[in-house]
Structure 1
Amino acid sequence: MTNTPATIFFDVNETLSDLSPVGDAFEAVGATREVASTWFASILRDGFALTAVGTEARFLDIATTNAHESLGASTLNMPIDEAVDAVIAAFSNVSLHGDVAPGIRALHDAGHRLFTLSNGPASNAERMLTEAGVADAMAGFLSVEGNSLWKPARSTYESALTRTGTDFDSCPAYLVAVHPWDIHGAAKAGLSTVWVNRSGANYPSHFVRPTLIVATIDELSSSLAEN
């Protein structure tokens, strides 16, 4: 791996983006950070359920619908439609974790080909990386929307490989994510994987183990060189 540039796909939500401002937004409208966590989990739950039966799922549509449900159980300090708008606006304007921009730059400088691969809109990833000054380091911004089922469907990773012209025989391919379910899906599609374990959690034994584990994105370039 030391002298072989790879194609690297990055999950976006939570892997690259810091979602703590979303918790702030829930608190600002009268709910709690726990409600924010439940809301985000419900988006994934419903998207996975739709994927399981082969139905297209649109991230922001689910997020908006489920925000109404999640916030409806709280005593809000504004009308619920305004609260939902505030939460969705916060989600749509989050920034990168502090380790991401230097990590992306180091990987680009090492010759790797970098893409985002999100279940949400590609525009959000492009905005964050542009604001951080590293959009030029990316070869592309990919979303499942209009192209494939949600991750972790195997076909989603295969579609990303096809769309980027990645050939396993000539170019190693990695998926980088904080979510073990994403790691598992990519591994089943034949990709190598990198689990970003910022919290020091234990990796679930029911999922395929990652190829590499890092605590932050800015560790990844050196970890790949040593692998």
Structure 2
Amino acid sequence: MTNTPATIFFDVNETLSDLSPVGDAFEAVGATREVASSWFASILRDGFALTAVGTEARFLNIATTNARDSLGASPLNMPIDEAVDAVIAAFSNVSLHSDVAPGIRALHDAGHRLFTLSNGPASNAERMLTKAGVADAMAGFLSVEGNSPWKPARASYEDALTRTATSGVAHLVAVHPWDIHGAAEAGLSTVWVNRQGATYPAHFTAPTVTAETLEQLHTHLA
């Protein structure tokens, strides 16, 4: 990577957002954090499956349906409708990881053009970044909904490049190796954010750069 101003796309769920309050919500209604993790994985699974067969996938619709299924086997302390509402409310009101706002600000100040790119509603990213005081650093908030297949389909990244009129250097920043792989297949440079010290799966295309936090990212672009 170089210090040439670039277009940078950020995945949203888990890359920017801290989903630990969702685990708290599952525990509060009588389930477990493990159920929360399997629920989120099931959203991705079903969204990928719908995309694979050419059917439109809506993130919050899948999340709500699968929350009911995930909570059904737990000893809930409230009616299941209320438990589902509590989980979705928690998911819809999560905040940024602590490293995100300073990382976004540093990249903006360095002259880079920044966008979010999510499989979920663009409004979630806009809300979080507005709350953190860095929405002004963003050039836009993008969602695949109504525009393209879900990431990691190649078309999702190509559509983002088209919608943002990007012709120069472009990077995708994500915590998910499947997202890194898809972006690489579409010709983007990639940054894997590895906050947990995980091992990158060898069956996916390796990231161009690995960073432990978004605060480190501007140094990799220098």
With the shorter chain as reference, the TM-score category is: over 0.9
Equivalent in the alignment of 1:102: 102
1:182 aligns with 2:188: no
Q: Which residue of 1 aligns with 2:24?
A: 24
- The equivalent of 2:190 in structure 1 is 193
Q: Where does 1:1-227 land on structure 2 (aligned, <5 Å)? A: 1-167=1-167, 171-225=168-222
3-state SS, counterpart of residue 106 of structure 1:
helix
Q: Say whether the 8 Å CA contact 2:6–2:170 is kept in structure 1.
A: yes
Alpha-carbon distance between aligned partners in 2 of 1:137 and 1:118, rounded to the nearest angstrom: 17
Distance (Å, rounded) in 1 between the aligned partners of 2:86 and 2:206: 38
* TM-score, normalised with respect to structure 2: 0.99
Whole-angstrom CA distance in 1 between matches of 2:81 and 2:148: 31
What is the distance in 2 between the residues matched to 1:144 and 1:64? 19
The residue type equivalent to 1:212 in the other structure is V
1:58-109 deviation per Cα after TM superposition (whole angstroms, max 9, x unaligned): 0000000000000001010000000000000000000000000000000000
Output the CA distance in 2 between the equivalents of 1:142 and 1:51. Answer: 18
AA matched with 1:197: N
The Cα shift of 1:144 comes to 0.5
TM-score, normalization by structure 1: 0.97
CA distance in 2 between counterparts of 1:157 and 1:127 reads 22
What secondary structure sits across from 1:142 in the alignment? strand
Tell me how many residue pairs correspond in the alignment: 222
Mapped contact 2:126–2:135 kept (Cα < 8 A): yes
- 2:7–2:169: 8 Å Cα contact kept in structure 1? yes
What is the rounded CA distance, in whole Å, between the counterparts of 1:127 and 1:34 in structure 2?
27
CA contact (8 A) 2:157 2:183 kept: yes
CA deviations on 1:198-226 (whole Å, 9 max, x unpaired) are: 0000000000000000000010001111x
Q: Which segments of structure 1 move beyond 2 Å, counting only runs of 4 or more? A: none
Gapped regions of structure 2 (runs ≥ 5): none
CA–CA separation in structure 2 for the residues paired with 1:25 and 1:157: 32
Structure 1 residue identity aligned to 2:193: V
Instruction: Structure 1 unaligned segments of length 5 or more: list them.
Output: none
Structure 1 residues 23-68: Cα deviation after superposition (integer angstroms, max 9, x where no partner):
0000000000000000000000000000101111000000000000
RMSD: 0.6
